[in-house]
Amino acid sequence: MYQDTNVTHDSRELCVECGGARLIERMREQSFAYGPPNDQVILAASMPVFTCEDCGYEYFDERGEAARHEAVCRHLGVQTPEEVRKTREGTGLTRVEFCQLTGFGSASLQRWESGMVVPNASSDRLIFLLRYPDNVERLRKRATAIAQGLLQFQSASADPVARISAGIPEVHTRRGIKRFERFADRPRIAFQAASWNLRRSQCM
C-alpha cells in the first residue's frame, strides 16, 4: 500500500544490509502480530519504510518503532507516550513535581514517556484525569492539607492501624485493614514488576 509521499532519502544514511546509498523512503501501512503466541491480534501502523534500490532490503527506523508502539497503546486503550508527556507538560510541572503530586515513580514516568513500557490501566486513567486543571488543583490542595496536618485525623497517631499502614499504598478492598499489612510484604511488588516486564516484551 504505497502513498504519494515517496522520497529518496537524501541523508548520508546507507543501507544497513549492503551499505548502498540508494535508499527510498516510503510511508507504508505495516501489519504486525501483537500478544502471546496463542492469543495474537494483528495490528496495523503507518510508518516510513526504507527500501534499498541495490539489494531490495526493507527496514524501518525508530519512527516505525514509535508508530507500532502507538498502535499497541490504541489497541490496549491507554494513552500513547506523547499523550502522557503532553499531559504532564500541560500541568506545568516538572517530572519530579508531577511524580510528587501523583505518587508515580520517576522511573515509571520516564518509561511511559519514552515508550519503553505501556502504563497500566489505573495509571493511565489518573494521567487522563490530570488533563483537567481542576483535578490537578484538587491533588495540590490535598497534598498541602496533608503537609499541614489538616487531614491527620484520618491517620491519627493514636490509631495503631493507621500507624502500621503509614507509608503503605492506600488500597481499599472488601477485606479492609488486613489487606494493608499484606501489602507490606514484597511478593506483590515483585509480581507487579514481573507483569511490567511481560507488558514490555509484548509491546516490542
Shortest distance in whole angstroms from residue 58 CB to Zn ion: 9
- In the region spanning residues 56 to 75, those forming contacts with Zn ion, defined by CB under 5 A, are 57
Residue of the chain from 5, 20, 161, 193 that contacts Zn ion (CB under 5 A): 20
Q: Does 29 bind Zn ion (CB under 5 A)?
A: no
Q: Is 16 in the site for Zn ion (CB under 5 A)?
A: no
Check residue 52 for interaction with Zn ion (CB under 5 A): yes
d(CA 135, CA 150): 20
Contact between 17 and Zn ion by CB under 5 A: the answer reads yes
Q: Which is nearer to Zn ion, 14 or 162 (CB)?
A: 14
If the CB atoms of residues 16 and 190 are measured against Zn ion, the closer one turns out to be: 16
The residue range among 16-24, 28-36, 84-92, 155-163 that interacts with Zn ion, by the rule CB under 5 A, is 16-24
Cβ proximity of 117 and 108 under 8 Å = yes
- Contact segment (CB under 5 A) with Zn ion among 7-15, 131-139, 169-177, 181-189 equals 7-15
Stretch that binds Zn ion, among 8-16, 36-44, 58-66, 182-190 (CB under 5 A): 8-16
Which residue, 23 or 72, is less far from Zn ion as judged by CB?
A: 23
Q: Of 204, 201, 174, 199, whose CA–CA distance to 76 is shortest?
A: 199
Binding residues for Zn ion, rule: CB under 5 A, are 15, 17-18, 20, 52, 54-55, 57
